[in-house]
Structure 1
Amino acid sequence: MSPKPDENLAATPFLDFDHPAVAEFARSATAEDASDKDRAVHIYYAVRDTIRYDPYSIDLSVRGMRASTTLQAGHGWCVPKAVLLAACCRAVGIPAKLGFADVRNHLSTERLRQRMKTDIFYWHGYTSIFIDGNWLKATPAFNIELCQKFNLQPLEFDGHQDALFHPYDQSGNKHMEYIRYRGEFSDLPLEKITGTMTRRYGHHRPSPEADFAKEAENENRIAQ
């Protein structure tokens, strides 16, 4: 059985489950007498569907990447949603880490493709959760409403096996390819992420006027 190292249970400036709002969110999503597996699963769905996925909300400041900031905003991209999931797991005593990979995402929008100049998402984030002696990968990025707009099967997590993005959507079209794993970390490697985004994208500014869900809905309506 793998150890349960202290660094994967501690609060950090990013995984700030000592913030009252994060602690309450984690507590309200679980039952005190539930198993680690059941608590992790319930927290996963709370983060996946309560926090709207928004790739235009990137704020790579320390404050912008905190779990409490994402929770209070009610939206976030894949990395801060993974941070929130990890923080909530730690809040109820379940060890959790942050994992990252570069992925080629075939489900995007024209505006986002123009902004990124590539279909590769660098430092795509997921959460690694310690359950019953095993580290399991869970990706809480796409909320269920967004999956419906993209004709994508929602990613389910059962606490027994990894939950990473499916390679195809419900129509058999390519969705996401993992092209490089960057490892797992006890805390957010913000400087590494910021450096890569600056080199690859040339910017990492938020676009609060953009609406990713509406873009997806409009483009998929036209395609049909």
Structure 2
Amino acid sequence: MERYLQPTAFFDYDHPQLKAWIESELEGVPDEPVEQIKALYLAVRDSISYNPYVFRTDANTFSASYALESGETYCIPKAVLLGAAARSIGIPSRLGLADVRNHLSSPKLIEWLRSDIFRMHGYIELFLNGQWVKATPAFNRQLCELMKVEPLEFDGVHDSMFQEYTEDGHAHMEYVNDHGLFDDVPHEFILTGIRNAYPHLFTENHESRDSLESDLSL
């Protein structure tokens, strides 16, 4: 279990800015693990905007501190940020990776990826009350409102994963492939999977990364 508590170059909760942010977010929160991680989950979910178009291959862009500094990123760094914050308060965390199909993907994103499957979606698992529970802080509240999907809540007890259906009954998110769980970010493994799925992103100049949040979904 110790390896799920250690700081790393990605889970870098010893970074000064990240340490200060964690302390600020926990100010006034009861000194109880579940209450603290619930507060941190909401902070990651809503204060860091979701934007898949900012994806870069540089390893440092996958770190918790970079996600915090940038203020907008995609699912993997947001999951790592929550995982790093969890480790800082003694809650073991590990990164989960899966492929998902979004039935509500925007035409812009489908055109960019040339697919409705998002490879290497990231979520975080947290060890609370003697069990591992999943948390997915990817979509911020504002984006969910635009998508007409309830934002994912996390109670520290039950898994919090993408909804299968929207609130009006339309198909939303489908998990199609599980890549496993990791004690640190498997950077090269992720890049290999993304290159294999979207080779055109690595051979063409994609200026469409400029984001309009009103047009975004995963």
TM-score of the superposed pair, with normalisation by structure 2: 0.93
Cα distance in structure 2, aligned partners of 1:208 and 1:104: 21
3-state DSSP class of the match of 1:196?
Answer: helix
Aligned counterparts, 1:1-224, within 5 A: 5-30=1-26, 31=28, 33-202=30-199, 203=201, 210-216=210-216
Residues of 2 paired with 1:156 and 1:32: CA distance? 17
Alpha carbons 1:26, 1:89 under 8 Å: kept: no
Q: CA deviation digits over 1:19-57, x for unaligned, max 9?
A: 011112222222575211111111100000000000101
Measure, in 2, the Cα distance between the counterparts of 1:137 and 1:108: 23
**Deviation (angstroms), 1:214:** 2.6
SS of equivalent residue, structure 1 residue 56:
helix
What's the CA shift for 1:60?
2.2
RMSD (CA atoms): 1.7
CA gap of 1:123–1:216, structure 2 versus 1, over 3 A, is closer
Q: Which residue of 2 aligns with 1:220?
A: none
Contact 2:96 2:123 in 1 (8 A): yes
Q: State the one-letter code of the partner of 1:9.
A: L
Q: Count matched residues.
A: 213
> What is the Cα deviation at residue 142 of structure 1?
0.2
Please list every run of at least 4 consecutive aligned residues from structure 1 whose deviation after the TM superposition is greater than 3 angstroms: 204-209
CA distance, structure 2, for counterparts of residue 81 and residue 138 of structure 1: 11
1:185-210 Cα deviation digits (max 9, x unpaired): 10001111100111110126885752
With over 3 angstroms needed to count, the CA separation of the structure-2 counterparts of 1:91 and 1:23, relative to structure 1, is same
**Distance in 2 of aligned mates of 1:108 and 1:58:** 17
SS at match of 2:104: coil
In structure 2, give the amino acid aligned to 1:215: D
CA distance in 1 between counterparts of 2:161 and 2:206 reads: 26
SS of alignment partner, residue 39 of structure 2: helix
Q: Do the aligned partners of 2:109 and 2:216 also contact (CA within 8 Å) in 1?
A: no
SS in 1 for 2:184: coil
> Which residue identity is paired with 1:116?
L
TM-score, scaled relative to structure 1 = 0.90
Q: Is the 8 A contact 1:129 1:137 kept in 2?
A: yes
Query: Is contact 1:70-1:80 (8 Å) kept?
Result: yes
> Structure 2: how far apart are the matches of 1:15 and 1:52?
19
Unaligned runs of 5+ in 2: none
